[in-house]
Amino acid sequence: NCFACHGPDAHERKGKLRLDTADGAYAEREGRRAIVPGKPDESEAWQRIVSGHEDEVMPPPESHKKPLTPAQRALVRQW
């Protein structure tokens, strides 16, 4: 779900956020980090995945991608 918009294809990448590399996923941007290893509650990506706000939730409604399943969320949180 994430890599289509946050992966290696620079033309498709949204928000200039790259999650397929450690440098991209762990980098601090505007005082936040997409992934904080071992601390999902401090990770912006996790906060976006579980957000109930349309303007924050990932994947965004306009992407027409299905939200992560509970099993997928559990796996992301564990990771």
Q: pTM for the full model? A: 0.85
* Residue owning tokens 């939730």: 57
Output the tens digit of pLDDT for each of the chain's 79 residues: 898 899 999 999 998 899 999 999 999 999 999 999 999 999 999 999 999 998 999 999 998 998 899 999 999 888 7
User: Which residue has 């033309």 as its token pair?
Assistant: 11
Contact 68, 60 (CB under 8 A): no
